[in-house]
Every structure is written in C-alpha cells, then in structure tokens.
Structure 1
Amino acid sequence: MNRIKTDICVIGGGSGGLSVAAGAVQMGASVVLLEGHKMGGDCLNYGCVPSKALIASAKQANAMAHGAKYGIGNVDPSVDYGAAKDHVADVIATIAPVDSVERFEGLGVQVIQEFGRFISKTEVQAGDTVITARRFVVATGSGPFVPPIPGLENVAYYTNENIFDLRDKPKHLIVIGGGPIGMEMAQAHRRLGCNVTVIEGMKAFGKDDPEMAEIVLENLRAEGVNIVEDAQADKISGKGDTITVHTPKGDFTGSHLLMAVGRKVNTDKLDLDAGGVAYDRSGLKVGPDLRSVSNKRVYAAGDVAGGLQFTHVAGYHAGVLIRAILFGLPSKQRTDHIPWATYTDPELAQVGLTEAQARKKYASTLEVVRFDFHHNDRLIAERKTKGLIKVMVVRGRPVGASIAGHMAGELIGMWAMAIANKMKMSAIANTVLPYPTISEVNKRVAGAYFSPRLFESDTVKKVVGLIQRWLP
C-alpha cells in the first residue's frame, strides 16, 4: 500500500474539483486529485458541452428550413444524425485537453485515476494508495436520477450519459421530464427531424417564471414538440421496436425513450460514514462556508454541496474554497447572484428572485419593470422579436431578472453582475451601448424604471418649467 501526505486532496475531476486543484497548486499548495472516470466530469462529457454542440447542429438545420423570411429560399435539410454526433464528439475532444490528466500533472497536481473513498476522518483510499491530507474537497458531482417507474427495467432507455452515443436517428423520441435537459434535447431532436413527445408530471420549466416559460413553450409547440403536462408516468411497456409510456392523460408510444427527470448526487462510492462526514440525499451537509458540519477537514464543491446544480456554481464554489483553505480567510457562498440559462430557442434565463418570489419577500416595496423584445431594433432586423425581460427592483436595486428570448443567456450576465455587486438601476441606465445591439434590451428595461419618474412626474415638469424661464 502506497501512502501520500498532501495539503489538499480533491475527490472528483469535474468543474469544481479541477478549479480547486488548478488554483491551489499554482498558489503553492501540494495537491492530489482523484478521478476514477473521465476528467472534465459530467459537463464536458455528458452535459453542457455535448448538449450545446447538438443544439448547434439542430439550429443549423432549422435555419436552412426557415430562410424565406430573410429572402433565402427554404431548404429541406438533409440531416445526418450520425454526423451530428461526430460534431458533438469533436467539440468534446477539442475542449478535453484543458481538463486532461497531462495538463494537471504539468501544473504540478498529482493525479490518481481511481475513485476515492474515506477510510478514516483523515484518510482517503484510491486504488492501492492511501492519502492523508490537511483538507479534503469532495467534488464528485451528480448523475441522472432514474425513478423506479414500473416496467422501466424491461425496456431500453437513455439518459444524458448515453444519449450522445446514439448514432441512429430516433423516429419518435419520448422524453420523460420537462426541465432544462429534457426540453433542450426535445427541441434539438425535433429540429433534427424526429417526432418528439415530452411527458412532464407537473409543469414544464417548473422552476422558472411561468410567464417566461410560456414564451418558450409556445415556440416549442409551434415547432411540433408535443408537450404533455400534469401527466405522471405510471407504467412503461415495450413491444418490438416501440416503447409506450402510460399516463393518466393517455398512452404515448415512440421508438426511443430519454429519462430526464432530475439529478442525484454522487456519494455512493465515498464511504462518507467512515470519514465521519454527514450527508443526506441532497449531498454533504455543509455550512455557508461549504465546510462539512461534522468533519472540519472536509469541504464540498459543486452539485454534491447540496445547492444549485450548475457547472458555473461549481466553479464559483472553487473560488470560495480557495480563499478559505489557502489563505484562511472567512469565505462564504451566496446564491442571490447566481444566474442560470436554458438553451432552447428562444432561450430562458434567470438570476435572483422571480416575480412571484420577489412579491412574497418584498410586497409593497417591489417594482417590476418590463420590456418587450419587439421594441429592439437589432432583434427586428434579425426577426427574433419574440421575448420579454422583467426586472424586479427594490429601492432602486435589482433583486432579480427573468428573460425569455433570443440570447437570454448572454443578456442575463449584466443583471448577474449588477446583483453580485449591489449596483443600482442607474448603473445600467447610464451605460452607453453600441447601436443596434441586442444588449440594449437591458438598458431599455432600466429606462422603463426611470421613465415614470422623469416623464410622468408633475414635480419634474414644474422644475423644468421654472428653469426654462430663468435660463438666458
């Protein structure tokens, strides 16, 4: 048995773990990184990267089929589904070296390609190596949750972990789950020529502002995606090359099944009990400083920390941990400034509080300002005018923003910055942006906040009138 002593032992080579390892080793700490599967984790191999690559293929097919409004004849695209998957694989391969074992070893990280498990409060074993560390960072991420639906065990089904390996285009894809993963894959496959049915037990995009969600859902339905809401999957059966999902709203039959109902954290292999690390179904039990409540040597980053499950949150957690572990500074996470986006067309993005959440928290002090995309000149030129932005404002400061529309994922960044830095609406309104750009949507909604104060105020009109009389 080999034994290693190190400053920091990182368990998991996904976004959070890699960011901690890279930052810590470059600042002078000794680091051991354990990864028993693929470097880059879920995001690179099964999530953000491959899904956006497939969406890009689907977007190109859709553009070819809808060029007439721009003066370009519509073309029925010839979709090579296998070649689209080659594109996905190439994108992953292009990014992979940044997350590779070779790169991290080059930085000075000792990488052990084995799963790690606790054998005591101060030791983790990976293969035939025992690592003793001053601090452990658990960053094992999450995987697809597959609910125990009767009959599911008797049919072939896909999750985000293997759907990108599928080479033959589905004739009819049934998606169980109307969240971001399910809806992104539903639209992508519809645009690539598949029939698609989405079955959701409650409401599609249930965590987003319902008004914004409806803008996106309306477009998906118009493209031919069959979305069945309030339809719990009671049973699944298969016959020959078909799969049937039985629900209270009827039976839905297709050729392929994608399970996209949620995520479960990866803690099974860690033997957390042996390490004295408290946990539950949502992940490790940690405080706002991401430190284990039961073993002070242990920290968590990313999905396994039990909060928002996004790649960028894992990266943010890494920054919180580096300040605490390397410099001994008080460092706590916050969530009010964390944005997220769904990359359907149109896109859906959120940061801070939704309108419903803000009304519940702030009541009479809340102002909600809106701006419709169809007033933006660049969007008119692009014929992408279907969309809306809402900003929730309390005493001149934004506390939340919801956007549905073209490039919503890019537009939300300005509001994430504003909330993170406690900026006022005046900071957005005072920003000069090039014309014509889509980002003017943000400036115009800030202007909508000030317009009543300037143009509908009798006091302002009286003051201006007096000044005009006295000006030479």
Structure 2
Amino acid sequence: MNAYDLVVIGGGSAGLTAARTAGRFGDRTLLVERDRLGGDCLWTGCVPSKALLHVAAEVRTARSVGVYGLAAASGPADLPAAMGHVKQAIAAIEPHDSAEALSPFGVEVAHGPAVFTGPRTLTVGSREISFRYAVIATGSSPALVPVPGLAEANPLTSDTVWEVAELPERLVVLGGGPIGCELAQAFARLGSKVTLMEKLDRLLPGEEPRASQVTRERLEAEGITVLTGYRAEKVADGAVYGPDGSIAYDALLAVTGRRANTAELGLEAAGVELTEQGAVQVDDRLRTSNARIYAAGDVTGLSAFTHLGGVQGGAAATDALLGVRRRIDYTSVPWVTYTDPEVARVGLTAEEARRQHGDRVRVHSLDNDRVDRAVSDGRTEGFTSLVLGPRGRIVGATVVSPRAGETIAHLATAVRLGWTASNYAKTVHPYPTYADGPWHTALTDVYARLARGSRAIGALLALRRLVRR
C-alpha cells in the first residue's frame, strides 16, 4: 500500500493545490510535509503580514481622528495584542489547509522529511514509497546577503519576525522590496522608529519608477528614514555600518531575498537537476529533468506568489495524471505590494514594453486627484498607468491607490485577453470606486484616438470640398 499515483512533497499553496487536484481525479495521492501544512503563506507570509498591516492601519486611523474632533490615540501600540490578532487570523484559516480538510479529496498526509532514493522511489521516515509521478513543492526560505557580521547578528527574517514579544524602539530593515516596505510601514505605525535600507537606487525596484517614488514619499511622511543606494558594509555591536557611519538598532530585520528549499531531498538520486541559482530546473510543462517528477511554486524560481504557486501546482498534477497540458500565461500574472497605498501591477512596465516594441508603445497615466472616490476619501496620492503595445493592446498596468489589489484583477483579465484600451473602456465601472482610475485612463486613449480621427476626417472633408469646387 506504499505505491501512489502522485506524491506531493510540500504542503504550501502549490503542494496543497496539486494534492487536491489529484484527489479530485480519483488518483491515489500522498502529501508529504515535514513541518506544518499551509506553508509560508499561512504561517509566516501572506496571512500574518496582512493581519499585522490591518492592525497597523487601524492604529494609524486611531491616531488621525483628531481632525474630525475626536480624541486621537498616542504612544506605541501593544505589540502582543497586535500579534494576538495575527494568531487569530492564522487559527481561523489553518483548518482549511489541514489533513482533515484534505481527507474528503482522498488525499493521505504523511509528516516527515521526504528523501528521493531513485527516479520513482522515496522515503518518508522509515516508510519506503513508490510513485507514478511526483511534484516537488517545497517552497523557499529567507536568504541573507553576504554582509560581514550579518549572520552572526542573528537578524529577524520574514519567518521569525512574528516571534517578537516587544515593540522595538529602533528597527532597521535591510531590503526595500515588497516585504521590507510592508513591514517597515507596519512597525512604524505601531510605534517603532524605523530605518529602511535598500542597496539599489530606489524602493520596489521591480515596479514603475513613479510607483517607487510615491511609496517612498508616503513612508517618509510617516516618519520612516529611507536610505536608497545604501550598501551595508558590516553589522557589529548593535549597529549597521555604511559609508557614512553607523545606525544603531534594537532589532534588525533582514528581508534581502529567498532561496529554494532543495537541500536534503536526494534530488541527485532522482535525476533532478538544479539551476545555477539553486532552484529546481523545469520546462514549460513544469517537468524536471526526470519526466516523472514535476515541480511547482517557489522551488522552481518561477514564482514568488502564492496565487501563481497554486496555479502551477494544479497544472503540474493535471499534466502528470491526465496528460492535459494547462498553459500558464506568466505575462498576465498580477501582484501587489500591500503598503498603504497599495502598489499593484500586471504585465510589462513602460520601459520593458519599449524594449520589446519600440515606438509602438503608448503610455497613459491618470493621477488619483482625478478619481472621485480618492478625493472623497482624502487619498489622492497615487495614480493609474496603462501601457499599450502594438495595435493599442494593454500589455501592462500599474495602480497605486488604496485597494489597488482588487482593482488590478480586472486589468489582469485585460492583459491576458489582449484587450485594447477601447475594449476595456466599454465595460461600465461602478461609481465612485478606485476602479474609476483604470477606466478613465483607458478613456484617455479612446479620446486621443477620436481626436486624431476627427482631425483626419476634417482634413478629408476639406479636400472633398476643394475638389467639388
């Protein structure tokens, strides 16, 4: 009874989706998890970070109500109480990812480390298991940059920050990507004095430059010291040393990248090759160098997002067990940085589009002071930007505003289906919402083309009048 149609290694988003998919097909499925079902998203990523951001937003609101004649709060927040809300959110969602929740799908769960012993065999503890197919979905872990003294300082990471018992008076955050910006803002709102360091010349370097600038301005307005182009030279004696001196801290948080979890899996025995970056090498069907073994999620190096990892897990199980190839369109995968305001993007930036399509690219932007909902809420910082490629199709979009994560979903559909700005504008949007931003931005292109067309028609009519004379 140790032979399975599909063995899934890793119980995060990718692994859970692969196992559920196989179970729905009626195939004998084993899910192996060495720690806790739910993965990083449930325990140290999406769920706890968004719960903490919610608390931080509530604290900021409580401190800002004085303008409406109410008594405003002051002083630092109660971090244990904030973390209590985080734990409540995790506890509420945990049952959805449990072994009991998988049982109706016919999925068996085994706890322990999985080690491949051959191309179609592995062990889980003392159990020897054979499989027709396997999916590696072991995720990734925080990685520290090679700064002298950093590892020895035992910094907090996105995995361990949830264990902090007291609010640090001075917090230094290394890394100005999405996680660094989110946690820097959260702790600043709770009452810490935060310094955010990024070695590149701007925060959120993967986003549109203007999105980076809006984020920086908002963080600085909330009292965060932002240092870009800052290269830490060493960490020692409770301080980060750089070219201009040192910055002391009570807590140091390092969010400087992640590495795929591939160690101790016995991949060599299975004939599974890795990329130069240490991720599992896969083809466009998510198959590894062993055609019987697939990989999905962070471990592939293709995905840093829970939603994409889940899609990959379902696609891998479907391809393996049914031979039905589900093509994943990576060009239309949206993502969100959950700062306030949120930064959401799908598709190409303007620079990326121009590299691909040259002068056939048009970019239209609309500031939030033209969005009535933003004006009503007093939240006019931010903008919408649409990147139009050949034939006016939407190839990329950025939204910076409250609830940008919800707004970007419709734009992701537009990118995937190859809609033009005109196609998008034909969909009537509810008023007043933040979705007005993308709609009016699309209308900008429609009006511009109508203006060009009217001028051309006017010229043609004038020519015809001359001919008649």
- Does the C-alpha gap of structure 1 residues 119 and 69 become closer, same or farther in structure 2, counting only changes over 3 Å? same
Q: 2:383 aligns with which of 378, 381, 388?
A: 388
2:156 and 2:252 in contact (8 A); partners too? yes
Which residue is 2:133 aligned to? Answer: 135
C-alpha separation between the residues in 2 aligned to 1:192 and 1:75? 11
Out of 70, 77, 80, the position equivalent to 1:79 is 77
Task: Map 1:99-114 onto structure 2 (within 5 A).
Answer: 99-114=97-112
Distance 2:110 2:293 in 1: 19
Task: Determine the structure 1 residue equivalent to 2:346.
Answer: 351
Q: Deviations over 1:326-371 (max 9, x none)?
A: 3212333331001111000111111110011011111111111111
Change (3 A) 1:234 1:424: same
Q: Mean alpha-carbon deviation: is it higher for 39-48 or for 141-150?
A: 141-150
Asked if 2 retains the 8 angstrom alpha-carbon contact of 1:157 and 1:259, the reply is yes
Partners of 1:98 and 1:68 in 2: how far apart?
A: 41
TM-score for the superposition, normalised by structure 1 = 0.93
Corresponding residue of 1:175: 173
2:439 corresponds to 1:443: yes
What is aligned with 1:209? Answer: 208
Deviation at 1:302, TM superposition (A): 0.4
Name which of 423, 426, 450 aligns with 2:422.
426
Aligned to 1:15: 13
- 2:123 maps to which of 122, 125, 132: 125
Cα offset for 1:430?
A: 0.7
Deviates more, 1:277-286 or 1:185-194: 277-286
The reply on whether 1:459 has 2:456 as its aligned counterpart is yes
Please say if 1:318 is aligned against 2:316. Answer: no
CA distance in 2, matches of 1:438, 1:462: 39
TM-score, normalising length from structure 2? Answer: 0.94
- Deviations along 1:162-217, one digit per CA (max 9) or x if unpaired, are 11111111111111111111110000000000000111111321111111111111
Q: Shift of residue 151 of structure 1? A: 1.7
Written as runs of structure 1 = structure 2, the 5 A alignment for 1:153-192 is 153-192=151-190
Give distance in 2, aligned partners of 1:445 and 1:455: 16
Unaligned runs of 5+ in 1: 466-472
Secondary structure, aligned partner of 1:331: coil
Say whether residues 1:270 and 2:269 are aligned partners: no
Identify the range of structure 1 (85-94 vs 145-154) with the bigger mean alpha-carbon deviation. Answer: 145-154
Q: Is the 8 A contact 2:144 2:151 kept in 1?
A: no
Q: Distance in 2 between matches of 1:328 and 1:454?
A: 48
Aligned-residue offset at 1:68: 4.2
Following TM superposition, by how much is the alpha carbon of 1:69 offset from its aligned partner in structure 2, in angstroms? 4.6
Show the counterpart of 1:469: none
Check the 8 A contact 2:383/2:437 in 1, yes or no: no
CA distance in 2, matches of 1:66, 1:181: 25
Asked whether the 8 Å contact 1:64–1:77 carries over to 2, the reply is no
Letter paired with 1:142: S
**CA-based RMSD:** 1.9
Cα offset for 1:407?
A: 1.6
2: CA distance, partners of 1:378 / 1:463? 42
Q: Secondary structure at the match of 2:270?
A: coil
Query: Could you say what secondary structure the match of 1:152 adopts?
Result: coil
Please report how far the alpha carbon of residue 27 of structure 1 lies from its aligned counterpart in structure 2 after TM superposition.
1.9
| Structure 1, 182-191 or 102-111: larger mean CA deviation | 102-111
Q: Secondary structure at the match of 1:66?
A: helix
Measured against aligned partners, the alpha-carbon deviations of 1:75-107 in whole angstroms (never above 9, x if no partner) come to: 326611110000001100000000012211342
Question: Per the alignment, do residues 34 and 420 of structure 1 end up closer, same or farther by CA in structure 2, a change over 3 Å counting?
Answer: same
2:413 to 412, 417, 423: 417
In structure 2, stretches of 5+ residues that fail to align are 463-469
Please tell me whether residue 229 in structure 1 is matched to residue 219 in structure 2.
no
C-alpha spacing 1:70/1:94, structure 2 compared with 1 (3 Å): same
Question: What secondary structure is seen at the aligned counterpart in 1 of 2:330?
Answer: coil
Separation in 2 of the partners of 1:38 and 1:398? Answer: 41
Q: Which amino acid aligns with 1:271?
A: G
CA distance in 2, matches of 1:417, 1:287: 25
Percent of matched pairs sharing the same residue: 36
Amino acid at match of 1:422: G
Q: Which residue of 1 aligns with 2:467?
A: none
Give the direction of change, closer, same or farther, for the CA distance of 1:106–1:331 in structure 2 (3 Å limit). closer
Matched, 1:335 2:304: no
Once the two structures are superposed, what CA deviation does each residue of 1:117-145 show, in whole Å capped at 9, x if it has no partner?
11101111111112211111000000101
Number of residue-to-residue matches in the alignment: 459
The question of whether the paired residues in 1 share the 8 Å contact of 2:135 and 2:317 is answered with no
Inter-partner Cα distance in structure 1 for 2:197 and 2:429: 42
Matched, 1:306 2:319: no
Q: How far has the Cα of 1:461 moved from its partner?
A: 5.8
The equivalent of 1:253 in structure 2 is 248
**Deviation for aligned residue 1:252:** 0.8
Distance 2:154 2:286 in 1: 38
Contact kept in structure 2, 1:45 and 1:92, CA below 8 Å? yes
| Counterparts in 2 of 1:298 and 1:185: CA distance versus 1, 3 Å | same
Cα offset, 1:423, TM superposition: 2.4
Equivalent residue, structure 1, for 2:466: none
Report the Cα distance in structure 2 between the residues aligned to 1:153 and 1:416, rounded to whole angstroms.
39
Distance across 2 between alignment mates of 1:279 and 1:134:
21
Moved more, 128-137 or 279-288: 279-288
Aligned-residue offset at 1:29? 1.2
What's the counterpart of residue 397 of structure 2? 401
CA distance in 1, matches of 2:11, 2:358: 44
